Amino acid sequence: MGNLIVRRVTQMLLIMLTVSLLLFAIFDSDQFREKAAVAELGGFGVATLSDSDYHEWLERKGLNAPFLSRYGQWLRSVLHGELGRSNEKDIAVSALLGESLANTAILAFFVFLIMIPVSLALGVLAGMNAGSPVDRVISVVAVFTTSIPQIATAVLLTVILGLGLGWVPTKSAMTDGWSFRALVLPLLTLLLYDIGYLVRMTRAAMTEVMASQYIRTAVLKGLPYRRVILRHALRNALIVPVTLIFLELNGLLSQVVVVEVFFQYAGFGRMLFDAANFGDIQVLQAATLVAVCVAVGSQLLSDAAYVFLNPRVRFA
């Protein structure tokens, strides 16, 4: 186990180094420098600059410094815990990152809080009774909700719950302070997709377990059905869904881009979107580090959970 953690962490650091170098290399191009100039002065403003004035402008903004010195400087400051300053939003990247991560964490917390019990219960229920009307209904609904893209779900929910019934605000900008009502639409949008997915996976695992020899043996030797399900079936059936739940942490980080941008929720996804739009390199770099960290971290957690639940792969 200790070995695994060391391996994963080393892997993470290497990925971070490679990705940040790649990003820096992409942003070192003339094309990006022009993008930065256009972002600041506008297409019409840049058009008024002569070539030498343009280069002077780049010099003033520190965009003309040699690649290695800029990368080295960035690396040094990151090692000192300094993530730099957002060019677009004029605040420290660490503050921006902290705030938006906290907002996304709130969203993610509620997603998991509702998704895990609901989808495991439904999935197990469907898997236990494979082929029954209950299974059919649950499966069809699950396939339906996963097959609608989130952007469509978001529009549908806005029209019905926000504009039609007027129960919840249409956008989640929360200009008057934090409110759970404003969180409802992004939450539902994420949940509809994620629950559907997890229900299908749980159902598949449960069906497979229910068809196995040892369950038949357990039923035949006269154990109460309840005990068969809870003691024998669930423990094995839940291995896959539980590892998936941890991986979902990572999946959520990319899903929130669509949902947060659509609902104008000030989370990690929107920050990433804005930074990409404006070529805000310091923010992009920091966001990438976080994304790599979450990706590798969730993998590690998922591995650990797998090992814990499945004695067959437990390390000596």
| Complex with other proteins: residue 52 or 213, whichever CB lies closer | 52
Binding mask 72-91 for other proteins (x = CB under 8 A): ----------------xxxx
Interatomic CA distance for residues 244 and 298, integer angstroms: 10
- Binding residues for other proteins restricted to 90-109, rule: CB under 8 A: 90-91
Q: Which of residues 23-62 bind other proteins (CB under 8 A)?
A: 31, 34-35, 37-54, 56-57
Length of the chain: 316
Q: Segment contacting other proteins (CB under 8 A): 10-18, 120-128, 160-168, 210-218? A: 160-168
Tell me the number of residues near other proteins by CB under 8 A.
44
**CB contact burial 239-265 (16+ within 10 A = b; e otherwise):** bbbbbbbbebbbebbebbbbbbbbbeb
For other proteins, the closer CB: 37 or 201: 37
Q: How far is the CB of 186 from other proteins (least distance, A)?
A: 13
For the segment 208-227, give every residue that binds other proteins (CB under 8 A): none
Q: Output the smallest distance, CB 289 to other proteins, in A.
A: 21
Token pair listed for 86: 């957002």
CA-wise closest residue to 262 among 179, 156, 164: 156
For other proteins, the closer of residues 177 and 222 by Cβ is 177
Distance in angstroms (rounded) separating the CA atoms of residues 214 and 238: 16
Query: What is the nearest approach in angstroms of other proteins to the Cβ of residue 73?
Result: 23
Which part of the chain contacts other proteins (CB under 8 A), choosing from 111-119, 132-140, 188-196, 274-282? 274-282
Tokens describing residue 253: 């980080």
3-class DSSP state for residue 134? helix
Q: How far is the CB of 140 from other proteins (least distance, A)?
A: 31
Contact between 233 and 224 under an 8 Å Cβ cutoff? The reply is no
| Torsion over CA: 67, 73, 79, 82 (sign) | negative
Q: What minimum distance in Å lies between the beta carbon of 68 and other proteins?
A: 25
Q: 45 or 117: whose CB is closer to other proteins? A: 45
**In terms of Cα–Cα distance, which of 232, 227, 243, 231 is closest to 309?**
243
CA–CA separation, 92 vs 79, rounded Å?
Answer: 16
Q: Does 257 bind other proteins (CB under 8 A)?
A: no
When asked if residue 266 is in the footprint of other proteins (CB under 8 A), the reply is yes
* Structure token digits, residue 21: 């170098």
124: helix, strand or coil: helix
Shortest distance in whole angstroms from residue 149 CB to other proteins = 17
Closest approach of other proteins to the CB of residue 37, in Å: 8
**Residue 92: CB partners within 8 Å, gap ≥ 6?**
83, 84, 85, 86
Q: Tell which positions 275-304 bind other proteins, by CB under 8 A.
A: 277-279
Contacts to other proteins by CB under 8 A: 31, 34-35, 37-54, 56-57, 88-91, 158, 162-163, 166, 169-171, 173, 175, 261, 264, 266, 270, 274, 277-279
